[in-house]
Structure 1
Amino acid sequence: MTHARLTPDPEFSGLNEDAQIGRGVVNLLRKPNGARDRQLLLGAEVKVLWRHEGWAYVQANADDYCGFVGVASLTKPQVLTHKVSAPGSHGYQNAAFKSIDRSAMSHGSLLASSGEQDGFIQTSHGFVPVQHITAIDDFADDPADIASLYAGTPYLWGGNSRWGIDCSGLVQAACAACNISCPGDSDMQEAELGTLLDDTAVPERNDLLFWKGHVALVWDEETLIHANAHAMAVVFEPIQDAIDRIAQTDGAITAHRRLVIPS
Structure 2
Amino acid sequence: MAPPQMDRRLTPATDRVALEDLRGLLDRPAWTAGRPARLVRPLADLCSDPGGARDRQVNFGAPLTVIEDRGDHSFVRADRDGYCGWLDRAAIGPADPAPTHRVTAPATHVYPRPDMKTREVMSLSMGAELAGAGPEGRFLRLATGGFVPIGHVGQDPATDPVAVARSLLGTPYLWGGNSRWGIDCSGLVQAALGACGIACPGDSDLQRQAFPESPAIDRGDLLFWPGHVAMAVSPQVMIHATAWTMSVTLEPIADALARIDAAGEGPFLGAHRPG
Candidates 69, 85, 94, aligned match of 1:76: 94
CA distances 1:43-94 after superposition (whole Å, capped 9, x unpaired): 0000000002111000011011000001110110121111000000000011
CA distances 1:218-258 after superposition (whole Å, capped 9, x unpaired): 00111100000001000000111111111123122112112
In the other structure, the counterpart of 2:256 is 242
* Contact 2:35–2:65 (8 Å) recurs in 1: yes
Candidates 71, 79, 95, aligned match of 1:61: 79
Candidates 141, 150, 155, aligned match of 1:130: 150
Alignment of 1:1-263 (within 5 A): 2-13=6-17, 14-15=31-32, 16-77=34-95, 78-123=97-142, 124-135=144-155, 138-193=156-211, 195-198=212-215, 201=216, 203-247=217-261, 248-260=263-275
Indicate the RMSD between aligned Cα atoms, in angstroms.
1.3
Q: CA deviation at 1:125?
A: 4.9
Normalised TM-score (structure 1): 0.93
Counterpart residue identity of residue 251, structure 1: G
* Contact 1:12–1:49 (8 Å) recurs in 2: no
Structure 2: distance between partners of 1:101 and 1:74: 21
Secondary structure of the structure 1 residue equivalent to 2:187: helix
Secondary structure of the structure 2 residue equivalent to 1:33: coil
Q: CA deviation at 1:122?
A: 1.5
Normalised TM-score (structure 2): 0.89
In the other structure, the counterpart of 2:20 is none
Structure 2: distance between partners of 1:238 and 1:232: 17
Counterpart residue identity of residue 149, structure 2: P
Structure 2 regions of 5+ residues with no counterpart?
18-30
Percentage of matched positions with identical amino acids:
42
Flag the 1:96–1:215 CA change in 2: closer, same or farther, 3 A: same
Q: CA deviation at 1:39?
A: 0.2
Counterpart residue identity of residue 99, structure 1: T
* Contact 2:133–2:141 (8 Å) recurs in 1: yes
Secondary structure of the structure 1 residue equivalent to 2:37: strand
Structure 2: distance between partners of 1:4 and 1:10: 9
* Contact 1:108–1:173 (8 Å) recurs in 2: yes
How many residues align structurally?
Answer: 254
Q: CA deviation at 1:12?
A: 4.4
* Contact 1:190–1:255 (8 Å) recurs in 2: no
* Greater relative CO (CA pairs within 8 A, separation 6+): 1
* Contact 2:239–2:249 (8 Å) recurs in 1: yes
Structure 1: distance between partners of 2:117 and 2:45: 30
Structure 1 regions of 5+ residues with no counterpart?
none
Structure 2: distance between partners of 1:125 and 1:56: 25
Deviates most, 11-20 or 105-114: 11-20
Structure 2: distance between partners of 1:149 and 1:42: 20
